[in-house]
Amino acid sequence: MTTAPTVLVLGGGSTGCGVARDLAMRGFDVTLVEKGNLTHGTTGRMHGLLHSGGRYAVSDKASARECIQENRVLRRIASHCVELTGGLFVQKAEDDDAYFEEKLQGCRDCGIPAEVLSGREAREMEPYLAKDVKRAIRVPDGAVDPFRLCVANAASAEEHGARVETHSEVTDVLVEDGEVVGVEVEHKSGSGPRVHGKPGETEELYADHVVNATGAWAGQVGDLAGVDVEVRPSKGVMVVMNSRQVDTVVNRCRPKGDADIIVPHETACILGTTDEEVEDPEDYPEEGWEVDLMIDTLSELVPMLKDARTIRSFWGVRPLYEPPGTGTTDPTDITRDFFLLDHGERDDLPGMTSIVGGKFTTYRLMAEKISDHVCELFGVDADCRTADEPLPGSEDAAVLDDYMDAFGLRSPIGRRSSQRLGSKAESVLGDWQGPNPVVCNCEAVTRAEFADALSDSGTDLNAARLRTRASMGNCQGAFCCSRMAAELYPNYDEPVVREAYDELYAERWKGERHALWGEQLSQAMLKYALHATTMNADGDPARLDDPVDYAAFDAGPDAVDVDAGEGGDTGRTDATADGGRPIRDEAGEEVDDADS
């Protein structure tokens, strides 16, 4: 082999980033294209449960075994993205004993460490559990930060020579002589990180092979190539609570059902979820009753949730797949397994492979399988190393604690910041010149950390937000949206900063709206007042179409004095002397003898 085969990976979710890393490590020349930022799709809108496999231990033992295996791998290679919270399957008085036993047996069959706790023991671990909790099974569930994990994979891919293009949408699949030879992409603002306000351009990318890892969108990309990929997108809601009401992942121990899991994340807790098929992965109803269902049902397990503060809600769509002809009607019955579709074999269209289904926890395994397949196609003999090589940022977990008070950062800010950064903490915080104030107080994100995130995300503040968690806390960006935007300056000009701020503000509002009552509604009013009243972001003349006639407004008491003294043309307006411009001034004449 003289030059490495080129592979195009479509989709920057966990699967695509995982595939890009694996193939790059095996010597392929990889380009990844993603239409939004990394994790724009389902990966950025999921629960963040690092499955132990317990949830599948009764219904889908194969998936359960994969989960526990990958759970162990991720704890090793991505320690800075994973929090080992542990998990509980909790049985309430009214829940079925037989199912509890089945779950326990299933865990043991699949090699998932499982221990039974009495109700009292469970409540000692989680004091806010309902009084009538009967028993619980303890398993090694965890919490995983999908954005950091994806970014770490993409960074590793880049270290191995891959090119990663975000904000680049595949608009066509190029087919020549019955074979896929590449794709056409539309870069939102040119190649590289997105910059607001910069015009886009299209590019044709050719490659020896294309991997379609666009998740719930895989059907749409299939359409572009003229093949059927039968994904069945299924939506689920997640509700973010203001504090960590539980420190362990809490599952309800009963056969599959809605609203049966609580996952602690950093300073918050996420309730989930539902499972309902939708037509379009990007346009589906988000409904209030789904949010209510989470709170009502899960407060049976943890009663204090009933009166706790909800911060926001979001929805994601599962990229479920079922082979043609299976005909399952209830989406909850569709397998969680993943499928590799070789379009050469299946549709007589060589040059492209799709990977569909699966779940986040097993992304690495999915990537390994598809990379094996690509190697086989090209006769490349290279072993998968992704299970053994730690991801960037996690090489040395012990080093984190040393940053507690280093770099002039106060703990817990220093601790949280260095935990997020992993082994990059030294270079990001240590090399920082100048003051390092906190940009986001709720999540303890400092200027240095935010600048590091911005260096990869262009002017896409949402990408930097997901990476650092800035603006994700209790205040929902009330205090930090404008600070985050200001951090773009002077690398970018003011109009770009303004556009980036507007987009971030709108994006935050979208999630907030679903949880708008009680404390959160008061918070929303405060945020609105800070941005509209104090800063006047909504009535900003720079954002309005029509210029403001400054001369019609008060120029200060001295201006009046001077003008009253006749002829004293100081260049200031005299329009104020008679109270400014009359509101129904048809002619608009009496105002405009002022200059400036």
Partner 1 sequence: MPIREDVLVVGGGMAGATAALSAARTGASVRLVSYRKPTFRQASGLVDLLGYVPERTDGDTSGDVEGGTDGSGSDTGGRSSGPVANPYDALSVLPDDHPYSVVGDDAVREAFDLFDEVAGDLYVGSHTDANALLPTHGGTVKPTARYPVSAAAGVASDDRSMLLVGFEGLTDFDAPLAAQHLRAAGVPFDVEGVQVRFPIRFRADAKVTRYARALDRDEEAARRRLVSRLEDHVESSGAERVGFPALLGDEQPATVREDLADRLGVDVFEVPMGPPSLPGMRLEDRLYAALDEAGVRMTTGNPVVDYEGEETDEDAGSVRINAVLVDHKNNRVPYHAEQFVLATGGLVGKGITSSRERVMEPVFDCYVPHSEDRYDWSRADAFGDHPFARFGVVPDGELRPTTADGEAQFENLRAAGGVLGGADFAAEKSGSGVSLATGHVAGRTAGESV
Ligand X SMILES: Cc1cc2nc3c(=O)[nH]c(=O)nc-3n(C[C@H](O)[C@H](O)[C@H](O)COP(=O)(O)OP(=O)(O)OC[C@H]3O[C@@H](n4cnc5c(N)ncnc54)[C@H](O)[C@@H]3O)c2cc1C
Of residues 203-232, which lie at the interface with ligand X (CB under 6 A)? 213-217, 221
Considering the complex, what minimum distance in angstroms separates the CB of residue 530 from partner 1? 6
Considering the complex, what minimum distance in angstroms separates the CB of residue 170 from ligand X? 3
Binding ligand X (rule: CB under 6 A), the pick from 5, 7, 9, 15 is 15
Contact pattern for ligand X over residues 168 through 197, marking x by CB under 6 A: -xx---------------------------
Residue 396 interacting with ligand X (CB under 6 A): no
Site residues for ligand X, window 348-377 (CB under 6 A)?
Answer: 358-361
Kindly tell me the sign of the dihedral angle through the C-alpha atoms of 255, 272, 248, 54. Answer: positive
Task: Supply the DSSP symbol for 351.
Answer: T
Select the binding partner of residue 292 from ligand X, partner 1, none (C-beta < 5 to 8 A, by kind). partner 1
**Terminal-to-terminal C-alpha distance of the chain:** 72
Residue 48 interacting with ligand X (CB under 6 A): yes
Looking at beta carbons only, is 99 or 528 nearer to partner 1? 528
Considering the complex, what minimum distance in angstroms separates the CB of residue 86 from ligand X? 15
Long-range contacts, stretch 154-157, CB < 8 angstroms, 24+ apart: 154/12, 154/17, 154/20, 154/21, 154/32, 154/38, 155/391, 155/392, 155/393, 156/21, 156/24, 156/25, 156/389, 156/391, 156/392, 157/17, 157/20, 157/21, 157/24, 157/30, 157/32
Distance, in Å, from the CA atom of 201 to the CA atom of 399, rounded to the nearest integer, reads 43
Site residues for partner 1, window 555-584 (CB under 8 A)?
Answer: 555-557, 559-560, 571-573, 575-577, 579-584
Window contacting partner 1 (CB under 8 A); options: 31-39, 162-170, 360-368, 492-500: 492-500
Q: Which residue has the tokens 């915080």?
A: 429
Long-range contacts, stretch 447-450, CB < 8 angstroms, 24+ apart: 447/487, 448/407, 449/417, 449/420, 449/421, 450/484, 450/487
Looking at beta carbons only, is 200 or 580 nearer to partner 1? 580
Site residues for ligand X, window 290-349 (CB under 6 A)?
Answer: 316-319
Residue nearest to ligand X (CB): 13
Contact pattern for partner 1 over residues 268 through 307, marking x by CB under 8 A: --------------------x---x--x------------
Select the binding partner of residue 214 from ligand X, partner 1, none (C-beta < 5 to 8 A, by kind). ligand X
Binding partner 1 (rule: CB under 8 A), the pick from 483, 500, 511, 563 is 483
Go through 448-478 and write b for each residue having 16 or more CB atoms within 10 A of its CB, e for each that does not: bbbbbbbebbbbbbbbbbbbbbbbbbbbbbb
Residue 192 interacting with partner 1 (CB under 8 A): no
Looking at beta carbons only, is 198 or 581 nearer to partner 1? 581
Distance, in Å, from the CA atom of 379 to the CA atom of 397, rounded to the nearest integer, reads 38
DSSP helix/strand/coil, 389: coil
Residue 494 interacting with partner 1 (CB under 8 A): yes
Contact pattern for ligand X over residues 51 through 90, marking x by CB under 6 A: x---------------------------------------
Residue 480 interacting with ligand X (CB under 6 A): no
Select the binding partner of residue 179 from ligand X, partner 1, none (C-beta < 5 to 8 A, by kind). none
Instruction: Collect all residues with Cβ–Cβ distance below 8 Å to 531 and sequence separation of at least 6.
Output: 478, 481, 482, 505, 537, 538
Window contacting partner 1 (CB under 8 A); options: 6-14, 130-138, 245-253, 531-539: 531-539
Distance, in Å, from the CA atom of 14 to the CA atom of 20, rounded to the nearest integer, reads 10
Window contacting ligand X (CB under 6 A); options: 28-36, 283-291, 368-376, 567-575: 28-36
Residue 98 interacting with partner 1 (CB under 8 A): no
Distance, in Å, from the CA atom of 414 to the CA atom of 416, rounded to the nearest integer, reads 6
Distance, in Å, from the CA atom of 429 to the CA atom of 407, rounded to the nearest integer, reads 6
Considering the complex, what minimum distance in angstroms separates the CB of residue 361 from ligand X? 4
Secondary structure of 88-120 in the HEC alphabet? EEEEECCCCHHHHHHHHHHHHHCCCCCEEEEHH
264 backbone dihedrals φ, ψ, rounded to 5°: -75, 135
Interface residue list for ligand X (CB under 6 A): 10-16, 33-36, 40-43, 46-49, 51, 169-170, 213-217, 221, 236, 238, 273, 316-319, 358-361, 526, 529-530, 533-534
